[in-house]
Structure 1
């Protein structure tokens, strides 16, 4: 039997019955068959060709990305993206692209409710380091057009994060909804824009220990979690993430709200940063960082940071909980 005609097995972490795309069986088979039949990357110390299944409405394409060799001040080249993670991200992108855009107006605020924790290290008497948790649960208001400062409400109270009257220019690290609308919806162009920032601040000679690839993955995760982005941009962000070396699939993960799902992740420095998706809707539930080694931060398997999105909405005023908060 020709390998291309062999039955296609299920993707790890998702069964066919869990697909939220009725009537798209042919697209599924095309995507997976493309990944199965693509030639393996050439093994070379100097470069690796990454064959990525980037899905579109009716086809899959492959993209070759050239990676430079590791050198002084540059982390070792990561492995090509896991094909199973690429396929999952493509499904997530299709779902995001079909979602209705939030109904927002200038002067309003995009509202997000989260639950979770982060971990910090502090020195205790005797010189030892001790890990302690900080509650990251709260409500967050981000200006649609940047005309007002972000506001958050936690157990410690309500506070304004900036004090410049919303005069700061929006950036990838401090976006507004209008800024997200301005981003390219072509995954390649969007990823290059993100890499331009991460190479500048985390590339060779920067002194960074994480490197551009890890920072690009983190930056995309932050953009997706902080606020609900326009559908086309959300889809492009997921497809851009599918092109980052080292991205892998985690068949099962639990978010800070106790919801289980399937995750896309990237490993760096003994930690695995995970984006957790609902198996049925493929909606992004949250993000967590899990230790893979015992250390000062805790035992292997510990989620040192875990933040879940539990509500979204639009508010007319910062600090005001919307009348309609969509459960997430």
Structure 2
């Protein structure tokens, strides 16, 4: 597999990957999905790819805690034009990535909705690591891994705090209440209230990323990358209702620069296919099982040597190894 410097692959390799995945023939698509992908492919053929914008340098800090969302979204914020909006977009999403996300959305939408009651907890177990940099005695920089394996219990309705257990012990976040949940701290009831139309949902996410990561914000990432990260955090942190999960995947298919990676390995050693986005020499990947198209986890991979490590090194990697519903925080659901 030959990856270009920007993390993109030969289009034919992406197309072959889609064909190899079970149950992913074009004839399986509903009419609207098939038409949307066909129109996208026609646009790709008719127009030249736009040049990638030069990313802004970010501070030497990298931390991905299981369940930590990167962007806080204010739902009442309206769009504002920033200098990011005036720059050429990174690139349109790869057709193979759009197609895979549509398949993943179909699977998510057909999944049975979990039966939950107020007062219960959504349980998620993850395994993985993050990477941090520290200065050495000689003035250099050393990269070190931190175990990010954890178990979390998130209140269904927000009336109880979120319990987290990891290698450091146990900690409980304060209860958010029924009216204080957000995309940065979601509950199941909050997720139920989100729009299932992917365009409206993406507008909600971009409302924050344009405000907090636009040209005047001092952000080192920008709205598009932050939107991709925010959706990934939501998908990994709390299991959403099927319609919302499907909308999140379809919203991601509209973000510039989204690509397909045919082979990826999660923190639990499981291999799959990934949807990814490249930013400043790093590729953030959402890894899916090739058979079930279930989300396995997420990782960020270096595309070039740096202080963080050698090219190909996953500097963060978190795998979802368990999910369920518990009546009490600290109780492990029956599998």
TM-score by length of 2: 0.80
Distance across 1 between alignment mates of 2:85 and 2:30: 46
State whether structure 2 residue 18 is matched by structure 1 residue 14.
yes
State whether structure 2 residue 89 is matched by structure 1 residue 77.
yes
Larger deviation: 30-39 or 214-223? Answer: 30-39
Distance across 2 between alignment mates of 1:22 and 1:195: 31
- Displaced runs of 4 or more, over 6 A: 20-23, 72-75
* 1:202–1:127 distance in 2 versus 1, CA, 3 Å: same
* 1:278–1:240 distance in 2 versus 1, CA, 3 Å: same
Contact 2:82/2:214 (8 A) holds in 1: no
Which residue number in structure 2 is paired with residue 132 of structure 1? 144
Which residue number in structure 2 is paired with residue 258 of structure 1? 269
Offset of 1:76 from its aligned partner? Answer: 5.4
* 1:165–1:230 distance in 2 versus 1, CA, 3 Å: closer
Larger Cα-atom Rg:
1
Contact 1:260/1:278 (8 A) holds in 2: yes
Which residue number in structure 2 is paired with residue 244 of structure 1? 255
State whether structure 2 residue 141 is matched by structure 1 residue 109.
no
Q: How many residue pairs end up in the alignment?
A: 294
CA RMSD of aligned residues (A): 2.9
State whether structure 2 residue 242 is matched by structure 1 residue 231.
yes
Which residue number in structure 2 is paired with residue 118 of structure 1? 130
* 1:44–1:261 distance in 2 versus 1, CA, 3 Å: closer
Distance across 2 between alignment mates of 1:127 and 1:36: 51
State whether structure 2 residue 170 is matched by structure 1 residue 166.
no
Q: 1:284 aligns with which of 277, 291, 295?
A: 295
* 1:159–1:75 distance in 2 versus 1, CA, 3 Å: farther
Higher RCO, Cα 8 Å, sep 6+: 2
Q: Secondary structure at the match of 1:11?
A: helix
Specify every segment of 5 or more residues in structure 2 that has no aligned partner in the other structure, as ranges: 1-11, 52-80
CA deviations on 1:197-247 (whole Å, 9 max, x unpaired) are 111110110000100000000000000000110000000000000000000
Offset of 1:70 from its aligned partner? Answer: 9.7
Specify every segment of 5 or more residues in structure 1 that has no aligned partner in the other structure, as ranges: 1-7, 47-68
Which residue number in structure 1 is paired with residue 65 of structure 2? none
Offset of 1:9 from its aligned partner? Answer: 10
Distance across 2 between alignment mates of 1:264 and 1:312: 22
Offset of 1:319 from its aligned partner? Answer: 1.1
Offset of 1:170 from its aligned partner? Answer: 0.7
Contact 2:92/2:258 (8 A) holds in 1: yes
Distance across 2 between alignment mates of 1:118 and 1:297: 11
